[in-house]
Amino acid sequence: MHMDGETPPLQETMPPTRIILDTDPGADDALAILLVLASPEIKLEAITTVHGNVGTDKTTRNALALLEFLNADIPVAKGCSLPLNKTPHSWGGHVHGASGLGQAKLPEPKTKPVDPHAIDYLIQRFLAKPKELTLFAVGPLTNLALAIRKEPKFAEAVRELVIMGGAIRSGGNVSPLAEFNIHEDPHAAHIVFNSGIPITLIPLDVTYKCLLTPEDIERLLKIDSPIPRFVRDVMADYMAFYSKYEGFAGCALHDPLTVAALIAPELLHLEEHYVDVDISGGVSNGKTYADFMKVLKKPANMRVALDVRGREFVELFVERMERLCNLAQGSVASTRHSARPAAEDGGGSIG
Ligand code: BDR
Ligand code: CA
């Protein structure tokens, strides 16, 4: 705990990694955004939104509202509303609440998305400074696939791509075999996986080892700040879903775990493999598979996380939330963060 008002020492000597986050907030997406903003190793430069947990109108509204809540002045570009070649699911509200943010009640945002569509925004940002920006994707991969198809130079301009998605040795969470983000747009995932972008994949195999518990939330609630109360409320429906359907109190930190690839890679066991997704339309549609035995004779196309020191990651997550509260000094309405260059403000942290 760091309740004394002092910000814990962190690796602030390295310049932060500049990222753009493609997301469908979404309860655990919201926690990923909090974790990014709490982490001085990262500077969040923009958010692009996509369909997924709820529709794109809602995911965009949620991203804007959350950034306003955190006084984080970061551009948001609205992206695709539909998968490339499937009907979108219609039951995300069961998992993430009707709004997508559980029981959290954030005011309607005053800010608007930037003008370009997320596909064009991604192309503009990455081609302006090739190989400088890292991309995080924690929703269906539709925006990324269409950026790759629209601009042939896009893939080579991405420094690195970290994806939450897939189930390699694990079973699925939306079908017996498939994970939600990949299942929701398997054709997009196929395009992205085979694009040549250097990819790190964070599948269910590891995210289900990172379980946020009610005790973790109680620990955070000891801090008098709107942030822990937001965490409690945004996860309320999500935790109820886990309790009802998965039989445990708590929930997996799927999207936040992508951030470990930058802030705590030592917690992840990563292996290089050729990974692809089944798009044949049968029972395994949307299933990700790794060619462990190299029978396809294809070079590895990504690093895939197959194990994690899960409890250590959850502890790190809770510590970073405590740090975020300290940065905000108990009042998230006091200052407004601007996405200034890292040299000026030390990265994407608020306050
Ligand atoms: C993924 O699906 C979504 O519901 C979560 O936000 C996460 O990105 C986990 O399968
Ligand atoms: Ca998500």
DSSP for residue 246 = I
Given pLDDT bands bounded at 50, 70 and 90, which one contains residue 350? very low
Q: Between residues 249 and 66, which one has the greater pLDDT?
A: 66
Q: Please give the pLDDT value at position 246.
A: 83
Q: Is the CB of 23 under 6 A from ligand 1?
A: no
348 pLDDT exceeds 50? Answer: no
Ligand 1 contact, 140 CB (< 6 A): no
- Domain boundaries defined on the chain: 17-332
End-to-end CA distance of the chain: 19
Q: What is the DSSP letter of 267?
A: G
For residues 272 and 266, what is the distance between their CA atoms, to the nearest angstrom?
A: 16
Atom of ligand 1 nearest to the CA of 138: 8
Catalytic positions: 254
User: What pLDDT, on a 0 to 100 scale, did the predictor assign at position 334?
Assistant: 39
Q: How many residues does the chain have?
A: 351
Distance 29 CA to ligand 2 centre (A): 5
Q: How confident is the model at residue 62 (pLDDT cuts 50, 70, 90)?
A: very high
CATH of 17-332, one of 3.40.190.10, 3.30.300.30, 3.90.245.10, 3.30.1330.10: 3.90.245.10
Distance of CA 53 from the midpoint of ligand 2 (Å): 7
- Per-residue model confidence (pLDDT) at position 96: 83
**326 Cβ closer than 6 Å to some ligand 1 atom:** no
- By the 10 Å C-beta count (0-12 exposed, 13-18 middle, 19+ buried), 5 is classed as exposed
Phi, psi of 96 (to 5 degrees): -110, 5
Looking from the CA of residue 207, the nearest atom of ligand 1 is: 9
Q: Ligand 1 mean position to 5 CA, how many Å? A: 34
The ligand minimizing its distance to the Cα of 181 is 1
- According to DSSP, residue 199 is labeled E
